[in-house]
Amino acid sequence: VVGQLNFYSFAASPSLEWDILSAGNADLEPEESTDYELQLERRFWGRGSAILTYTRYRFDNALDYVPVGLGFDARGNAGRATRGKWILVTNFPLDPLGWKGATWRSRTVHFDSRITDPFTGETRRRSGRDSFVGFIGLTWELPRWNSVVGLDGFIGFQERVWRISEERLIKEAPLPMNIWWDRTFGEDLSVRFEIMNATPARRTRTRDIYGAGRSGGAITAGEERRTEQAMHFMLRIRKRF
């Protein structure tokens, strides 16, 4: 498989948010990979299912941050790398457990990867979102009231980036939840009311800065930022004509 390139990887670009400058890389080439996939599926309880998929990637010319010029870095080809991805998808009714009309849904993804760091020569994960992510959901159908209620919980993610003179980590705390209610009125009118972030959505961003570059090994400064998305509400009315 031959990957696609991002135009912005070729051009230099400043980031006011992170206070850094990314150099461009005119020698960038698409990464190539050989992929293997195995899938197991289990059906149960009539409509219930669990699907486990494992995909293994073996990259040539893998993309990561590499040295460019004197004291700069950019997206470039860092040699060989591997990546594994586990995906578990579940969907099953809860009627057999005594909860009529309820359905459980989930999708979880676990990533793992290995690459040789272009700056230090050590083995590490690839830069980017490379951890455990996913969501869980529960719906409950209420035919008597022409309604469906539910909740969605989002499993927090982790994104780590290794640059020439810093390590950056973005981490989202698990299980910010949305609670919603759908109601239909006849065949042409529907209403949805949703509580967004019924539990807080928190995100932390940290930076470890190396004055002489990461190959020098000494952290000279650090930074941490925390954000939290407040609870808010949504009302949607849909009419068909």
Whether 144 is covered by a domain: the verdict is: yes
- 31 vs 3: CA distance, rounded Å: 5
Summarize pLDDT for 10-65 with one digit per residue, the tens.
444 555 455 555 555 667 788 889 999 999 999 998 899 999 999 999 999 899 99
Whether 2 is covered by a domain: the verdict is: no
- 210 vs 166: CA distance, rounded Å: 6
Q: What's the confidence (pLDDT) of residue 22?
A: 56
CB-CB contact of 51 with 1 (8 Å)? no
- 135 vs 156: CA distance, rounded Å: 9
- 238 vs 52: CA distance, rounded Å: 36
CB-CB contact of 40 with 49 (8 Å)? no
The secondary structure of 105-153 as a DSSP string is EEEEEEEEEEEE-TTT--EEPPSEE-SEEEEEEEEEEEGGGTEEEEEEE
Q: What percent of the chain has pLDDT over 90?
A: 67
Whether 132 is covered by a domain: the verdict is: yes
Summarize pLDDT for 99-109 with one digit per residue, the tens.
999 999 999 99
Number of domains in the chain: 1
Whether 69 is covered by a domain: the verdict is: yes
Whether 1 is covered by a domain: the verdict is: no
Q: Which helix (H) or strand (E) holds 54?
A: strand 48-60
The secondary structure of 157-180 as a DSSP string is -EEEEE-SSEEEEEEE-S--EEEE
Summarize pLDDT for 172-191 with one digit per residue, the tens.
888 899 999 999 998 899 99
Q: 3-class DSSP state for residue 9?
A: helix
**Who contacts 203 (Cβ-Cβ below 8 Å, separation ≥6)?**
170, 171, 172, 173, 226, 227, 228
Tell me the residue range of the domain where 112 lies. Answer: 7-239
- 235 vs 167: CA distance, rounded Å: 41
Q: Any idea what the Cα angle at residue 133 is, between residues 62 and 152, rounded to 5°?
A: 150
The number of beta carbons lying within 10 Å of the beta carbon of residue 127 is 21
